[in-house]
Amino acid sequence: MTIFALLTLALLWAGYRFYGGFLEKIYAVSADEPVPSKTMADGVDYVPANKYVLLGHHFSSIAGAGPIVGPIIAAAAFGWLPAIVWIVLGTVFIGGLHDFSSLIISLRHEGRSISEIARKYINNRTYKLFLLFTWLALMYVVAVFADITADAFAKEVPVAQTGIAYILVAIAFGWALYRARSGLKLSTMAALLALGAAMYLSFRFQFLSADKGTWVWALLAYCFAASILPVWFLLQPRDYLSSYLLYVSLFIGLAGLLFGGYAITYPAFKTFHDPAIGGMVPFLFITIACGAASGFHSLVASGTTSKQLSSAGDARFMGYGSMVLEAVVAMIALGTIMVLLPGDELSKAAPAQIYAAGLGRFSALFGVAPETGRVFGLLIVSAFMLTTLDSATRIARYIFQELTGMGNSMMSRLLATAVSLALPVVLLNIDITGPSGAAIPCWKFIWPLFGVTNQLLAALVLVIIYIWARRTGIKYRWLILVPAVFMTVMTVWALSEMLFRSGFNFISAIGAVLLALSVTVIFESARAVLKKTA
């Protein structure tokens, strides 16, 4: 296991250092170029941020549960070797490129979203279709992660109490940092001490108990507030503080892999075709999205991060670097199933439970009881999801405002947020009867489309980035074109196969809409590519 971890880390570091550095050169990135956070500062969305504070927000927002759930599902289906190969190669040559490029292109277009950039370089119809596609994709994100987080809060009271404490401490931290001017180091130390105390007390005194339905509404209310309030007040400081929890999990996970002395007991390879998922090609590349390549990252990079980055010189650190960090999270998640025996009952459990149990096992190196470590692992998963929830809602609000041409007044923000949360509310409160006759939440019908939608979004973003690079005369454009073609082929193949297998139902209807939108965007993009370079 030690050699596995060291080799993976070395390859990821080399990708960041050399390939990321090469991309920085061909994009001619300069620390002196103007950035939207300063040229368009408004104190609400455009706010210059300390790069480490912003790293916490960006990394926490893009991570979600994807780099934990996806690798474990893929390893259980195909074996851990195909999973780690895709994580490393995908991160270095596709995910890192995608995230870094999305951030750069937004920085150079006044912090505008990828969809609005598509209008400039392709046409207005593509812009509208891409906006609609991404807005619908974000509805899935909010519905899925709100449901899973609410379930974790309902089952584990310490997780819920610590999650609420994070929000309250974050508000105090934001006020201390931006209004009282207490300084980053002092504010961070005080906030972390408060969070540590809250975590300890949550294990000792469990009182904030509620059912799943109550937590769903509470989380949606939180998303509403996080979307309309200034980023410095809640979203940015909460995500920054949550990142420390994630960094601790990275430390524990790496310590377990490097120094735990664990042997790899899970099969490196199992099959080319899993009955439940499908063929390794194309479904490996769909199952592992976050942790290798993810379209949602472009929405964060161009939706919130580009409006807060204080220097273009930090773009590689923020975009490519966060993708590498997420790959490390994916590696650790993969490690939690690699130490299990093939017949172990735990290997059949939900991915979040496998990850939490693995982190509990790794925590024993520090004298922490496995059960405490397990609950801490669930807390980390919920922290990932909560940070994705608030960012996804805010980005959905941005996109709806773009789609409708709304301004950025308080009334516009309220209305856009309310509309953006309406569909998740419906999805989370309507049950559909499954094949067995039992009621199944509606979002579970959408879940199979979640991964393919995310990757299809990445493919479309890469196509737009390629067209931008072509129009602006950037060299080595084939480095963008090859990943764009690969992701397009894999995602359209996977979605088409899913539609063929499922027949006509709710899933296939949504899938058909997504496929039609994506094919139209690809067609319009191809027409733009065939035009002469401007």
527 pLDDT above the threshold of 90 = no
Distance CA 334, CA 324 (A): 15
Q: What is the mean pLDDT of the chain?
A: 88
pLDDT tens figures, 166-190: 889 989 998 988 888 888 889 989 9
Q: Is 49 helix (H, G, I), strand (E, B) or coil?
A: strand
Fold of domain 2-427? Amino acid/polyamine transporter I (1.20.1740)
pLDDT score of 85 = 98
Rounded to the nearest 5°, which phi and psi values hold at 184? -65, -45
pLDDT tens figures, 453-496: 889 999 999 999 999 999 999 999 999 999 999 999 999 999 88
Tell me the chain's radius of gyration from C-alpha atoms: 22
pLDDT tens figures, 56-68: 878 877 877 789 9
Query: Diameter of the chain by CA atoms?
Result: 67
pLDDT tens figures, 211-234: 988 999 999 999 999 898 888 888
Q: Ranked by mean pLDDT, which of 194-203, 350-359, 484-493 comes out on top?
A: 484-493
pLDDT score of 38 = 94
pLDDT score of 437 = 65
pLDDT tens figures, 109-168: 999 888 889 888 888 888 888 888 888 888 888 888 888 888 889 988 988 998 898 889
Structure tokens belonging to residue 52: 């480490």
pLDDT tens figures, 437-451: 666 666 666 666 778
81 pLDDT above the threshold of 80 = yes
Q: Do the Cβ atoms of 231 and 47 come closer than 8 Å?
A: yes
Virtual torsion, Cα 6, 12, 13, 17, nearest 10 deg = 160
Distance CA 130, CA 118 (A): 8
Provide the 10 A C-beta neighbour count for residue 271.
12
Q: Is 1 helix (H, G, I), strand (E, B) or coil?
A: coil
Which helix (H) or strand (E) segment holds residue 274: the answer is strand 273-274
Distance CA 289, CA 284 (A): 9
